[in-house]
Amino acid sequence: MILKKNVGYMDSIVRVIFGALILSMGLFYDSYWGFIGLIPIISGAISFCPIYRVLRMSTMNPNLEREN
């Protein structure tokens, strides 16, 4: 299965920041729930969201081509 990128630039930045915030809050409060923050971090880093794939959505700019 090829992971075609479906997360745009700004969306990936927001995901990484939001994921880092969740992860740091989990570490601050000594909770394993903070590891849920790894999901948006990884999703933003690889520019692929499986939920977007199921819903056939994309936040990629159609005029901007990025390498897969």
SS3 at position 4: coil
Q: How far apart are CA 22 and CA 15, in angstroms?
A: 10
Separation of alpha carbons 7 and 60, rounded Å: 6
Average predicted confidence (pLDDT) for the chain:
89
Residue 66 exposed, middle or buried by CB count within 10 Å (0-12, 13-18, 19+): exposed
pLDDT at 46 over 90: yes
pLDDT value, residue 63: 74
- Token pair for residue 43? 């999703």
pTM of the entire structure?
0.82
